[in-house]
Chain A
Amino acid sequence: GQNIDQPTEMTATEGAIVQINCTYQTSGFNGLFWYQQHAGEAPTFLSYNVLDGLEEKGRFSSFLSRSKGYSYLLLKELQMKDSASYLCAALDSNYQLIWGAGTKLIIKP
């Protein structure tokens, strides 16, 4: 079956760095997305990786290893507004998104 695993909840301190991991098993693979979702709001796109390696976009970076079925989202210089859920989603061979349950990130001052 198809499956996405990511931690349920993480806590970090304002100004610090946090890494949110995601492992995936899908029928075929056409890339991996990360989305941010604030409570009660819609998800917003953060990143897309299809090739191995690190993609940096400001304070956020996303890494992919296709051979390991593994990705992580790295958030630097954490701000209180980064408190949200982070959703990992893999695109399968039919171009359907398989979603993880999300990681709730709590930022403490």
Chain B
Amino acid sequence: DGGITQSPKYLFRKEGQNVTLSCEQNLNHDAMYWYRQDPGQGLRLIYYSQIVNDFQKGDIAEGYSVSREKKESFPLTVTSAQKNPTAFYLCASSKTPDRGPGEQYFGPGTRLTVT
């Protein structure tokens, strides 16, 4: 079955530590995205990538970093520079715009708590 996996589902870290959230897809999608969702708010785009070895900042990229070394994988690192990292993080993928505006498919999410 094709889909997107994120691990772990729940993650706890101490303030000042970097943490990496994984995202893997086997849908053969070129585009991948990272969103953050806070209670009562919509999805906010952190980073996105349309092809391997290329990615762009979204609306709230400060304090985050990503890599796209493989088509299937788009890990997100939450650095100690992110001032309010506790949130629900969602990874998504889609076909690229030149193939039509397809819907985004989401992973199950990782709930990160930093204390």
Cβ-based interface call for A91 (8 A): yes
Kindly report which residue of chain A lies nearest to residue B31, judged by CB atoms: A95
Cβ-based interface call for A69 (8 A): no
CB atoms of B101 and A95 under 8 A apart: yes
Q: How far is the CA of A102 from the CA of B40 in the complex (A)?
A: 8
**Smallest CB–CB gap between A21 and chain B, Å?**
16
Cβ-based interface call for A30 (8 A): yes
Of the listed stretches A11-19, A36-44, A52-60, A73-81, name the one at the interface; the rest are far from the partner chain: A36-44
Q: How far is the CA of A101 from the CA of B104 in the complex (A)?
A: 17
Number of interface residues of B (CB under 8 A): 19
CB atoms of A41 and B109 under 8 A apart: yes
Q: How far is the CA of A99 from the CA of B58 in the complex (A)?
A: 13
CB atoms of A42 and B97 under 8 A apart: no
Which residues from chain A contact B63 at a C-beta distance below 8 Å? none
In-complex Cβ contact of B108 among A41, A45, A91 (8 A): A41
Q: How far is the CA of A71 from the CA of B55 in the complex (A)?
A: 31
Kindly report which residue of chain A lies nearest to residue B41, judged by CB atoms: A101
Cβ-based interface call for B45 (8 A): yes
CB atoms of B106 and A42 under 8 A apart: yes
Q: How far is the CA of A101 from the CA of B42 in the complex (A)?
A: 4
**Smallest CB–CB gap between A82 and chain B, Å?**
19
Instruction: Render B12-44 as a binary contact track against A, CB cut-off 8 A, 1 for contact.
Output: 000000000000000000000000000011111
